[in-house]
Amino acid sequence: MLHTWPPFSETRAEEVQPIEAAFTVAPDILAIEGDFAYGEYLSSECTTCHQATGANDGIPGIIGWETEDFVIAMHAYREKHRENPVMQMITGRLADDEIAALASYFKSLGE
Amino acid sequence: MALNRRSFLGASAAGLSVLAAPTVQAAGHGKPRVVVIGGGAGGATAARYIAKDSKGEVDVTLVEPTRTYYTCFFSNLYLGGFKSISDIGHTYGGLAARGVNVVHDWATGVDRAAKTVTLAGGATLNYDKLILSPGIDFVDGAVEGWDITAQNKMPHAYKAGSQSELLKAQLAAMPEGGTFMMVAPPNPYRCPPGPYERVSMVAHYLKNNNPTAKIIVADPKPKFSKMALFQEGWANHYEGMIDWIGEDFGGGNVSVDPGAMTVTIDGEVTKADVCNVIPAMKAGRIAEIAGVTDGNWAPVNAADMSTKADPDVYVLGDASQQGDMPKSGFSANSQAKVCANAVRGALTGSRVFPAKFSNTCWSLIDTNDGVKVGATYEATDEKIAKVDGFISATGETSDVRKATYEESEGWYTGITNDMFS
Ligand SMILES: Cc1cc2nc3c(=O)[nH]c(=O)nc-3n(C[C@H](O)[C@H](O)[C@H](O)COP(=O)(O)OP(=O)(O)OC[C@H]3O[C@@H](n4cnc5c(N)ncnc54)[C@H](O)[C@@H]3O)c2cc1C
């Protein structure tokens, strides 16, 4: 499946690196149902830098993304297919279900 | 039960309700009450998150004497001319609008048996849970010849606001070719790269306004945070301007004379035009008054930031002794969220999730030359323990450095919204 990047117009294209076309996430991982409340708690680690309003100020907004785009982006950082040492480090200790939980929570913020 | 990610994930499959703390019935009064002392990086964040997430179920009072909080973070950029003083000032109206009862007063006493806090204005507050995030105070007698009465002659500017403005005014008034001196602090202290970012920002100002001026740093440490990055940057941008005297060259053997404006380093007397004294630090005094310190800092349990001395008293940020995290605004903010989740759980029975901590400290060396260091941490039985980390590399391209600086701007907006909005 082809994913265009960035997923939403709120995020300026030049601020987000494209994911390598070859990068894929297994369907069973994409299918994980996110635990919303856990995502809300985990999101507080993200909102130190990424504004909960979705504003872009030197750091891209991450709210309202389609769940699948969010999950793929996080896995791409975790597997070091995308650069940025902060993001590689933060995602480096997120389990698959935690990424799913975050995706579910941040999607809701954009609704 | 010690909680690590693995046991948590196991529980997660079986349903998270097993982790929820039992509801504590607040005895004899309506809502459970949380008092937070100190409205800085730790305290403002904790108050905001408990109020926001408990949706009115918990009564949150924040005690903070100042009406405008000036962030120490980016106060060096103010010295360098990259920010105005109003850029780094933040008020408490947003927290009040979220339902936090903001009381502008000093906490002067804590009675842990009666569970009360007394304020300078005379009021008494009851609490079920007390969170202290009072930042730092200075160790008496740490720098021979200096005490707090000398802070106008030799500012510390290590609590931001009027001290930052004073240091900036003194910098601007320096005679041509004058000498700026810094007495750097011993470990552990707030913001490990802070003094060296400050040296960079002072050098930036002087390069543009007083290029023959000199900077001398007397340092009791043999090495410091991001040392290779700073030294590379100083050589690239400020060649010949900065003289760093470390422990090996007597940098720890220092006394000052604020009247004569002299600094004696290992027996050698130097006349300073500006002298920035950053003394050794300890937990903000109220932590000691509350009886939760051991030596200079307050030991805490990593899982929830409760003190070793009292399970109903929590200490966040610089004042805490928690293990591997540096004393930074980012760390205080991170600890506050873990604490808020645990406190709310204990008071309302809401789900409590395992502690996850992180920190990143950005520093600006010169225009668009930003560097960063960061790490993730987890709670062990013993301490907050480092899991993984990174640091900017020497010799990075100017594009990377510019992006790093822009990222720090984004972080500043993010964290101040996360504290005050
Ligand atoms: C020059 C400099 C640069 C820095 N740069 C960075 C950076 O780039 N990134 C970063 O993450 N960190 C940075 N820091 C560190 C950061 O500012 C501190 O680590 C952070 O503020 C600690 O948060 P805190 O809540 O422990 O204390 P503080 O933020 O200092 O808050 C403590 C609050 O408690 C109040 N208080 C104290 N006693 C009482 C009392 N008895 N009653 C009521 N209120 C009380 C004070 O008025 C104060 O507002 C820097 C620090 C300095 C000095």
Mean pLDDT of B74-94: 98
CB B100 within 8 A of CB B356: no
Q: Taking 60 as the threshold, does the pLDDT of residue A3 lie above it?
A: no
Residue B365, class by beta-carbon neighbours within 10 Å (0-12 exposed, 13-18 middle, 19+ buried)? buried
Query: What is the model's pLDDT at position B192?
Result: 97
Instruction: Look at residues A60, A62, A23 and name the one whose alpha carbon lies nearest to residue A39.
Output: A62
Mutate to test the pocket of ligand 1, among B73, B85, B224 (most ligand atoms within 8 A of CB): B73
Band of pLDDT at residue B16, cut at 50, 70 and 90: very low
Across the range B164-179, mean pLDDT stands at 98
**How would residue B1 be classed by pLDDT, with cut points 50, 70 and 90?**
very low
The CATH number assigned to the domain with range A17-109 reads: 1.10.760.10
How far is the alpha carbon of A92 from chain B, nearest alpha carbon, in Å? 9
Confidence class for position A54, pLDDT limits 50, 70, 90: confident
Ligand 1 centroid vs B7 CA: distance in angstroms? Answer: 34
pLDDT at B67 over 60: yes
Distance B159 CA to ligand 1 centre (A): 7
B48 touches ligand 1 (CB under 6 Å): no
| Yes or no, beta carbons of A95 and B9 under 8 Å apart | yes
Enumerate domains of chain B plus CATH numbers: 5-137+281-420 (3.50.50.60), 140-277 (3.50.50.60)
Place of tokens 């560097």: B371
- Chain A, window 76-95: residues with a beta carbon less than 8 angstroms from a chain B beta carbon: 85-86, 88-90, 92-93, 95
What Rg value do the Cα atoms of chain B yield, rounded?
Answer: 22
Contact A97 B356 (CB under 8 A): no
Q: Given an 8 Å threshold on Cβ–Cβ distance, is B407 in contact with A50?
A: no
Class of residue B88 by CB neighbours under 10 A (exposed 0-12, middle 13-18, buried 19+): buried
ipTM of the complex: 0.84
Q: Is the pLDDT of residue A1 over 50?
A: no
DSSP states along A19-77: PPTT----HHHHTPPP-HHHHHHHHHHHTTTS-TT---SSS---TT--HHHHHHHHHHH
> Which residue's entry shows tokens 């309003």?
A53
Residues from chain A contacting residue B418 (CB–CB below 8 Å): 44, 47-48, 52
pLDDT at B14: 38
pLDDT tens column, B296-324 = 999 999 999 999 999 999 999 999 999 99
From chain B, the residues in CB contact with A53 under 8 A are 417
Are A51 and B341 a contacting pair at CB < 8 A? no
**Residue range B356-364: average pLDDT?**
97
Query: Could you read off the pLDDT of B94-121 as tens digits, one per residue?
Result: 999 999 999 999 999 999 999 999 999 9
Which of A35, A47, A49, A63 is the best substitution to test chain B (most B C-beta atoms within 10 A)?
A49
Confidence category of residue A18, pLDDT binned at 50, 70, 90: low
Share above pLDDT 90 across residues of chain B, in percent, rounded to a whole number = 93
Residue B52 gets which letter from DSSP? Answer: H
Minimal-distance CA residue of chain B relative to A38: B353
The whole-chain average pLDDT of chain B stands at: 94
* Residue B110 half-sphere exposure toward CB, CA atoms < 13 A: 25
Phi, psi of B166 (to 5 degrees): -65, -45
Of A19, A15, A37, A9, nearest to A102 by C-alpha is A37
CA dist B374 to B14, B315, B363, B370, Å? 34, 22, 12, 14
Residue B119 has a pLDDT of: 98
Q: Hey, is B387 helix, strand or coil? A: strand
Q: How confident is the model at residue B22 (pLDDT cuts 50, 70, 90)?
A: very low
Residues of B in contact with A57 (CB under 8 A): 409-410, 413-414
Banded model confidence at residue B213, pLDDT cuts 50, 70, 90: very high
Q: How confident is the model at residue A58 (pLDDT cuts 50, 70, 90)?
A: confident
Residue B328 Cβ contacting ligand 1 at under 6 Å = yes
Residue % of chain A over a pLDDT of 90: 68
**B183 in Cβ contact with B256 (< 8 Å):** yes
Q: Residues 6 or more apart from B240 whose CB is under 8 A from it?
A: none
Locate the domains of chain A by residue range.
17-109
Q: Which atom of ligand 1 is nearest to the CA of B76?
A: 1
